[in-house]
Amino acid sequence: MLFNSFEFILFLPIVFCLYWFVFNKSLLVQNLLILAASYFFYGWWSKMFLGLLALSTLLDYSYGFWVASPNRKKAKLFLWLSIINNLGILGVFKYYNFFATEFQQAFESIGIHTNPTLLHFALPIGISFYTFHGMSYVFDIYRGNQKPISNFIDYAVFVSFFPLLVAGPIERASHLLPQVQRKRTFRYVQAIEGCRLVLWGMFKKVVIADSLAVTVDTIFGNYEEASGLTLILGAIAFSFQIYCDFSGYSDIALGTAKLFGFELLSNFKFPYFSRDIAEFWRRWHISLSSWFRDYLYIPLGGSREGKSKAVRNTFIIFLVSGFWHGASWNFIAWGFIHACGFLPLLLLNRNRKHVTHVVAEDRKLPNLKEVWQMLTTFIFVTFAWIFFRAKDMPLAVDYIKQMFVSFFNNPEQFTTLPEGYTTAVYIIPLILGDWWLRRDERKLKSFQNKYLRYVFYIILLFILIYKCMDLDKSTFIYFQF
Amino acid sequence: MKQFITKISYFSIVMLICMVGMALIHIDDEFVINKTCNTSYEKLAWNLLKIKDAEQLKNADIYIGPSLIQGDVNDSMLNANGIKSVNMGINHNGFDLDHYIVKRVLENAEPGKIYLYRPRDGGSLSHPMMPMLLNPFEYYSIFGQFPLTYIQTYFPKRLYFVMQYLAGFIYTDKQDYQPSKYGFRGEENSVINSMKNDEEAIAEEIAKREDFKEVGINEDGTFYTANTRKKYVRKYLFYYRGAAEPMRTVSVQQIQSKGIPFSEIYMPTYYDAIIDEHTDNRYYFRKPLNYKYDCLTLNNYSFLNDSNLWFDHHHLNSNGSAIFTDSLLAHLK
């Protein structure tokens, strides 16, 4: 079920009440409730793939014990089995058709005709996320950072906790499992923060992302006839659409988890205020980038074995990250572009420059240098988003070509830009709001005055209701991964 | 926990009061007309404009119902043959919308007779445009019930329309609407004269006509198509408790209280047309419990057994409407 749906509005309070009032006496029963609710939540989309979720959970739970074996050879063998298992599931459902088609084209080019059987079933929602949950659990046990847990229910809750089941954040066993295994106590402040995050997340998704989606779809759907400025606007609009869509989902996930006494990993920290690409990747989809860092980049050697290996590993990470997002060359190109953007920072040892502090941390406004840095980073990221949004490589390339050609050959475009007004109405308040909140994304500040606060929330809710009725109910972009 | 529940409860109550208060705001006809004209619900705008002109409705036969009325009853033909008629059919079903139109007509005019559409399988409760027309208080006071999906769809939609209505005072983009003389909205087939060279349209039309060939009758009297095996009951009377029937009762009572003659009218589908001409199939629809209304149905619809008269399995095209209206004329005269 979607977060922005009537079913979820009914589902959440019912589960909340059962969780805190009916089943709060026993931790086991409370976790069973969470598990049942999570499977119900997932099954609302597709009962067919519940079995796959259960199977993946059971397998990784079992691998956890085998990988903990003191016999390192045996442990390594089961580690590889787990990797093959999880990537195999992912490979079949997500990448099989891509490789089958690519091999067919490759064989065709050398005169060998093939007719591969393609699979025609939907991608199970959340598969990229829950397989990574399982893998991180097994990896952590192998490394000795985590002990295998004997309680299957606890493990199953870790994998399938409904707020993060279908689009993350990708949790770590060391962070979430202890919370599952200990009794949760209701905290008023946490619950209020949760409600605020849910409201703000819904607003970003339903009001901003879905409204920008209309503009983006129109521009990308008719890019051949659009002016250069319109195409630039389309790319900018998509930058904010995907940010609001995904960070909105993450906010709802974090907020919902808080209502049940859980603290999830932060997934977004105002990435468009980044001063370079390295900082961007420490602020965008943090759970995924840190997953790749810990389980792919570091095992490959990271940056410990010389610059050339560091460059190689960086490119591998970004290409794999692109491929994780979709079985298509344009996603790989997107990853490659980011790798190219990261490379100069790596070579000049400037990739860890802005680690500890947020832009203008002790000031109200950024200075000119910071504005320049944020702007150039944003432009780079937006350029790369064109490849992400376009349905394939030829369209992405055509879009960019049209953007440059039309920009310089179309002087009248500067006088009329109808989509600009719509885009600005949504983006400018968002930027201002995010700037105000930039120091802590997990604790949304609100008005000090209680009545002003309530009026603000009521206005937000009315706008939400309006937009829910106004737009088709679109799914979250990251569900397709 | 107590503090949280208290706070959430207070906030919810305040929010509910605001929502109900907003939902009660009356939306005037001008907004409805401006909103629906030049859209697929244009007939609603047309109807409201017609209602304002009492002379056009005086002593006329008024046809009220969904798209089957809108597209099958050719009121221009009826008028041309001396039967003053107004087709007030609006696409999509809803006994509540039917009643709304009845109520508005009776408030402003003196029609000759009112025909209300009788569906085959039971009336639909709520029309999608109702949230624009009645606030919750009005809806309940007229019908004594809410549709099952009231909270989920009707109520948020009501708020949506009210917010648009209120914002309309700021953003005035009135549309230029030229209402047609008659209410009939005949469906054209996919391929019309100007598209005869459009291969895709022609292929689509051929595929549709092939689909008509797949419609048949099982031995037990039920219908089937190649794609679905719907069990349309043909001959037997089934008495049932349609959830929407109380709404029809309210409409009939209001009509009868004004002394206006009333009848229901059944509109044929292609499934009725394939029944052979020798069979008296007057009872094409499932009768509600204690059904006691007059219902205009023809003895047989086999004269419409030609796929070229149909837009789809349920709607006649313009040619089919003309032939059907011709039969209706013979019946009315």
- pLDDT per residue as tens digits for the range A50-100: 999 999 999 999 999 999 988 889 999 999 999 999 988 888 888 888 888
| pLDDT (average), residues A326-338 | 91
Tell me if residue B27 falls in helix, strand or coil.
Answer: coil
A155-164, A192-201, B83-92, B190-199: lowest mean pLDDT where?
A: B190-199
pLDDT of residue B312: 87
> Mean pLDDT in each 10-residue stretch from start to end of chain B (333 residues)?
92 94 94 89 94 93 95 95 96 90 95 93 80 92 83 88 83 72 84 70 80 75 61 55 83 95 93 75 71 86 90 91 94 85
Find, in chain B, the residue whose alpha carbon is nearest to that of A461.
B15
- Concatenated DSSP letters of A78-139: HHHHHHHHHHHHHIIIIIHHHHHHHHHHHHHHTT----PPPP-SPPPTTHHHHHHHHHHHHH
pTM: 0.85
Q: Is the peptide bond before B128 cis (omega within 30 degrees of 0)?
A: no
List chain B residues with CB under 8 Å of A454. Answer: 11, 14
- pLDDT per residue as tens digits for the range B28-42: 999 999 889 888 899
pLDDT of residue A429: 84
Query: Are A227 and A202 spatial neighbours (Cβ–Cβ below 8 Å)?
Result: no
Choosing among A189, A462, A472, which should be mutated to test the B contact, i.e. which has the most B CBs within 10 A? A462
**Cβ–Cβ gap B163/A462 under 8 Å:** yes
pLDDT of residue B326: 94
Work out the mean pLDDT of chain A and round it to a whole number: 88
pLDDT of residue A360: 79
Q: Which of B4, B8, B160 shows the shortest C-beta gap to A466?
A: B160
List chain A residues with CB under 8 Å of B11. Answer: 454, 457
Element holding B87 (H helix, E strand): strand B85-87
- Is the CB of A469 inside 8 Å of chain B's CB atoms? yes
SS3 breakdown of chain A: % helix, strand, coil, rounded to 5?
70, 0, 30
Residues on B contacting A at a C-beta cutoff of 8 Å: 1, 3-4, 7-8, 11, 14-15, 18-19, 22, 151-152, 156-157, 159-160, 163
A240-254, A349-363, A424-438, B50-64: lowest mean pLDDT where?
A: A349-363
CA A271 to chain centre: 12
Amino acid of residue A182: R
Task: Read off the tokens for B68.
Answer: 């089957």
A84-98, A137-151, A256-270, B277-291: lowest mean pLDDT where?
A: B277-291
List chain A residues with CB under 8 Å of B160. Answer: 465-466, 469-470
- pLDDT per residue as tens digits for the range A432-446: 888 888 877 666 666
Q: Which of A186, A466, A469 shows the shortest C-beta gap to B1?
A: A186
**Cβ–Cβ gap A186/B11 under 8 Å:** no
Choose from A223-237, A401-415, B97-111, B173-187 the range with maximum mean pLDDT.
B97-111
Q: B-contacting residues of A 184-223, CB under 8 Å?
A: 186, 188, 191-192, 195
Find, in chain A, the residue whose alpha carbon is nearest to that of B3.
A188
CA distance A214 to chain B (A): 19
List chain A residues with CB under 8 Å of B159. Answer: 462, 465-466, 469
| pLDDT (average), residues A264-281 | 92
pLDDT of residue B252: 95
From A44, A369, A50, A4, select the one nearest A205 (Cα to Cα).
A4
Task: Read off the tokens for A360.
Answer: 């203008």
pLDDT of residue B228: 56
**Residue A325 designated active-site:** yes
pLDDT of residue B281: 57
- Is the CB of A372 inside 8 Å of chain B's CB atoms? no
pLDDT of residue B173: 61
Indicate whether A480 pLDDT > 80.
Answer: no
pLDDT of residue A328: 87
Report ipTM (2 d.p.). Answer: 0.81
At residue A437's C-alpha, the angle toward residues A434 and A440, to 5°, is 125
**Cβ–Cβ gap B4/A191 under 8 Å:** yes
Task: Read off the tokens for B146.
Answer: 């809410």
pLDDT of residue A286: 93
Indicate whether A415 pLDDT > 70.
Answer: no
Identify the sign of the CA torsion A5, A9, A10, A12.
Answer: positive
pLDDT of residue B324: 95
Find, in chain A, the residue whose alpha carbon is nearest to that of B165.
A466
- Is the CB of A383 inside 8 Å of chain B's CB atoms? no
Of B208 and A279, the structure prediction assigns the larger pLDDT to A279
CA distance A458 to chain B (A): 7
